[in-house]
Amino acid sequence: GVWFSGNEYPFLSWMSQLGIPTTGGADGVTVLKQGFNVDPLLQKQADCISTMTYNEYWQVIEAGVKPEDLVVFKYEDQGVATLEDGLYVLEDKLKDPAFVTTMAKFVKASMKGWDWAREHPDDAAKIVLDNDATGAQTEGHQKTMMQKINKLTEGSDGTLDVAAAERTVDTLMKGGSDPVISKKPKGAWTSVVTDEMKKM
């Protein structure tokens, strides 16, 4: 199972690099368009599913599957990891100093929030649970996610990792006969917002 919200690109690039067709057949794989849950694996509809290390992987474990019964393929280890979450703005907006200042304050506040949540995981979990209208979230899962997210955000001030951005472009260009992009974008990123944030 693969998420089809942009998350399919690392998978398709990986399969292309391995020479494995994604159209089924004896030498290929059949791709299931996966929802943002782990049901296909638990219900035996799929042999392999997409997960995030901080969320769905732990849903599988919490459902009773033992870690030693899983084979985990990390895109990072396969050379096809891509950046995901980020701050995206229209280029012409960056000409407005007030807009840049607002975005810089947003990034600074966001990272301050992550720092607070790291230092207060119980309180952070309670905030999520207090605002969960579905009642589907559990305190244990929220705390596990916070622990794993901490590894991803700790030490970051929100500044773009340029090497990771370049790796993302390379991955998106390696789609075999059907790459996501066919040439490196110009002006796709800037540090103007985080440069302003560092002055605050």
The predicted-structure confidence for 104-126, as pLDDT tens digits, reads as follows 999 999 999 999 999 999 999 99
Is pLDDT above 90 for 180?
no
What pLDDT score was predicted for residue 152? 87
Least confident of 16-25, 40-49, 56-65: 16-25
CB atoms within 10 A of CB 117: 18
- End-to-end CA distance of the chain: give it in Å, rounded: 44
Give the pLDDT confidence of 122-165 residue by residue, as tens digits.
Answer: 999 999 999 999 998 999 999 999 999 998 888 899 999 999 99
Alpha carbons 90 and 21: distance in angstroms, whole number? 36
- Pick the closest to residue 155 from 98, 126, 114 (CA basis): 114
Q: Where are the domains of the chain?
A: 8-78, 91-158+186-198
Backbone angles phi, psi at 13, to 5 degrees: -65, -40
Q: How far apart are CA 64 and CA 51, in angstroms?
A: 16
HSE toward the beta carbon, residue 182, CA cutoff 13 A: 2
CA dist 176 → 64, 72, 129 (Å): 38, 24, 44
**Closest of 105, 116, 86, 118 to residue 198, by C-alpha:** 105
